[in-house]
Structure 1
């Protein structure tokens, strides 16, 4: 994104939402011109952005997570046992210094070790920030150890067990969503099991990376009909690719004795990029509220699972989701039955590279509702073959209230 877009967004947030309690910052600060990046440039972007956020939101806690573009080269995050010239210490040591403008000194050890940390925000409420580059399948350093290279998951279990003993509720933040295809299968499976075990402790998860407006559901591994958790994937300020810039405001069950710390509702705000370019002035507006747009009684996992099932059967509901997924982009592509199956499967996939477990049944329902079962496929394929044969002489081909994600 151009710096002026980021500047205007931050100014808009500060003036429009003066009552925000804290900010979740899900990573990816540097521009995505990956082969032009250097360590020095990325560190400069990090320092300047931290300074800008501190000035724009004085006194408001900010909880950052590391994206995959902060390294140079991109996606290159060596495990802690790699030292000397190839070490990632050049980045993590600066992260420790910069992040501690918002975080306590107690996080220094784990930030310098692996760029992850745990913070008690207030009594009974904890935020855990994970470095999702240790599941990033484009991080070739994981060829050395892809199971738990920084012992991050081992540490994560310890933190969640301590939180359970203390009666704390936990929000997890990170960059790459655990169910995304960019997350390694073995890491994602282990993470999924951890969320299953601590479903009563982890009440929300927040990620970025995709640039789209979406979510991922987690299910009981022993009862796949029971949704147990949600990973919210917030929109990005970057318009890449063919998107409007956006950010997300979350409303969370707040400070009271029996607080669940569950997300009650969320709003997506966007800038109409076409009009901003046309009139040379950006206007930000609320695109939708999750509860009111989809008429769901709550954002509990079971309710969003019901919504996903409704999308599969009701084309109007899916079309609404698809428009929001693209942040109301006027150049979003059309979405056929295969596209619909892929996106709905994404919503059910909190575990990467495991689509058959939870997608086959709902995909067959979509096929039935759109008349694209195997009989229709054979018939349509035969009809197409005949029409092609008949048209050979003239045949031509045309090939056609809280989270901000920076990337």
Structure 2
């Protein structure tokens, strides 16, 4: 870490009346091209609401014609909460709504996980085609609007895995990063080609005085098995990040970082997290997902950001969230409606500004303010008890608030006031990522045995 850091200056609210930017944030699309309304949503494989590789659904073949006899939970037309991803036509419906409703956008960020959760079917050809499809769609719907994208862990093959360059050439990710470079061409400057192909990251000097760093933090994914060979700054990516931040600091530029994996959770390694945390140590904003997998209604976010003028902080001032109520829309599928979850996060939670200190005060307030926490919890899922969301008791509450505060595995050091209890098992059990992978592996072995056994 370079020395001679400038003195810390506490953030202050942006003065009202300044120019602003509107920025669309999409993430975790997880689109399932095989989603089929009427098929089993409560299946015994990791991915439901789609034709299964083995015939384990009664009358599944008749679901398209409206016959769902024997199916326990038919998949809704617009999507289903559970082990189901979003149908592709929900994605295009969302884009239609954004264009019709939200006016001018200044730029768009997409922070990964485009692919469905059918991880056993991942292959290079389909990944490259899907990356191109999503990019072409965004370019078609928002002509002339810069689109800045970064990969998620589901873009890796196998899932979570991007091989650093200490591995044999056959495992290198040039094919994936090269495909992204080609599809994301409009958002990646020519001078960033080499670093994009090498580590899947890049910098875009989007406005005078502001740079966007797109950081491939799948290099810190705890399920990336290459990192258990060598975790030391894979492909020099954190070193590269620090150098980009130093260059921006010397130039007096502000920086926005876009990445996929939130630090401090089960998907991230502490070695990566703590070094990233020490380099950045800023407020992190995490947008809602489009996919319904496995507990939330689809949603997207639009930020209001300090605008393009001399001396701008380019910081987040406010945001609005929009969501798609599946309970209502599946009941009336011919007239789908997107609803505004809230028009201003500041008004929603009674915040005077979006500076870091105000978010910390909100966390403290939600420790005892039941009404505010319950509002936050419902907004987090975009669902309430009438849509099937489980209540959040003290252990759940403390754990959720702690994740809002810590961005690395602090082992409770950042949450001494929150006694985090073991999570209570929900009535309808949702498997963990590890359990899903184990089940997929067992399923593939079973299928293989059935194909090769002479009896």
TMscore range, shorter length: 0.7 to 0.9
Give 1:336's match in structure 2, choosing from 363, 371, 393: 393
Between Structure 1 and Structure 2, the one with more strand by share is: 1
Does structure 1 residue 357 correspond to structure 2 residue 442?
A: no
Structure 1 residues not aligned, in runs of 5+: 197-228, 368-397, 401-407
Among 287, 296, 299, the residue aligned to 2:354 = 299
- The correspondence of residues 6-405 of structure 1 with structure 2, limited to 5 A, is 6-196=91-281, 229-280=282-333, 281-288=335-342, 289-329=344-384, 330-351=387-408, 353-363=409-419
* Aligned-CA RMSD value: 1.6
TM-score (norm 2): 0.71
Gaps of 5+ in 2: 1-85, 422-426, 430-455
CA pair 236-308 structure 1, distance change in 2 beyond 3 A: same
Q: 1:43 to 1:340 in 2, by over 3 A?
A: same
Report the counterpart of residue 207 of structure 1 in structure 2: none
Note the C-alpha offset of 1:81: 3.0
Equivalent pair of 2:188/2:203 in contact (CA under 8 Å): no
Paired with 1:260 and 1:148, the residues of 2 have a C-alpha distance of 30
TM superposition shift of 1:28: 0.8
Query: Which has a greater percent of helix?
Result: 1
Q: Secondary structure at the match of 1:230?
A: coil
Report Cα offsets for 1:327-377 as digits up to 9, x if no partner. Answer: 1252111111100110011111111x214111122439xx9xxxxxxxxxx
Moved over 3 A (4+): none
Q: Which digits, 9 at most, give the CA deviation of each residue in 1:178-234, with x for residues without a partner?
A: 2323110011000111014xxxxxxxxxxxxxxxxxxxxxxxxxxxxxxxx211110
What's the offset of the Cα at 1:80?
A: 2.3
Residue 296 of structure 2 aligns to a residue in which SS? Answer: coil
Distance in 2 between residues matched to 1:326 and 1:357, nearest whole Å: 27
Counterpart contact for 1:311–1:318, Cα < 8 Å: yes
